[in-house]
A = this chain, B = another copy of it.
Amino acid sequence: MQKPPTIHTIQPVVSSRLFHVEELHLEFSNGERRIYERLASRGHGAVLIVPMLDDDTMLLIREYSAGTGRYELGFPKGKVERGEDILEAAKREIMEEVGYGAHELHLLRRVSLSPGYMQHHTHLILARNLYPHRVDGDEPEPLEVVPWKLADAAELLAQDDFTEGRSLLALYLAQDWLKQHQR
């Protein structure tokens, strides 16, 4: 294992409403110096939830996504708010986005998005034992909720609008978890 670089300073570069760019002045153990930019994460990370309506059925949403500029199919997700723990955030997000609460939540994995450039982390969570409970979120239009059978996971992977790396990964991790715990 290499000796980590020394961080001489971390300086803010530019900020907008949502994004905060900072630069790290680094000196590697061999004396090489670099200035790297990254997106700072000021919040508490995000959650992405695989809600199981029953043992065979996942709930997805189809939502307009401003980044890619089109409707994308994926699992419900959102930011962890101040004072929430990650499981509370997961419960709230599925109430807002698919209209269910969950009695049972399991952390599948904490993942980084782009570790070279972003401080951000997302917690991938499996939700089971759902009960109807809708809470209004701040969505501009009603989200389309899309039930999908686990048995049809291959068809989901082949969908043209199911592109988000974290959602694709969560599908694999949920399948692994269910295989280990159910059968």
Asked if A5 lies at the interface with its beta carbon under 8 angstroms from chain B, I say: yes
A163-B66 in contact (CB<8A)? no
Q: Tell me, in angstroms, the Cα distance from A74 to B114 when the chains sit together.
A: 11
B141-A30 in contact (CB<8A)? yes
B67-A110 in contact (CB<8A)? no
Residues of B close to A14: CB separation below 8 A = 14-16, 19, 21
CB distance from A27 to the nearest CB of B (A): 9
With contacts A114-B113, A141-B29 taken as known, whether A122 is within 8 angstroms of B165 at the C-beta atoms is yes
Q: Would you list which residues of chain A between 134 and 183 have a CB under 8 Å from chain B?
A: 140-141, 144, 163-166, 168-169, 172
CB distance from A148 to the nearest CB of B (A): 16
Q: Would you list which residues of chain A between 72 and 122 have a CB under 8 Å from chain B?
A: 72, 74, 109-122
State how many residues of chain A have any CB contact under 8 Å with chain B.
61
A164-B114 in contact (CB<8A)? yes
**Which B-chain residue is minimally distant from A163 (CB atoms)?**
B112
Q: Tell me, in angstroms, the Cα distance from A168 to B108 when the chains sit together.
A: 12
CB distance from A104 to the nearest CB of B (A): 22
Residues of B close to A67: CB separation below 8 A = 38-39, 112, 114-120
Asked if A131 lies at the interface with its beta carbon under 8 angstroms from chain B, I say: no
Q: Tell me, in angstroms, the Cα distance from A73 to B16 when the chains sit together.
A: 31
With contacts A19-B37, A141-B32 taken as known, whether A68 is within 8 angstroms of B112 at the C-beta atoms is yes
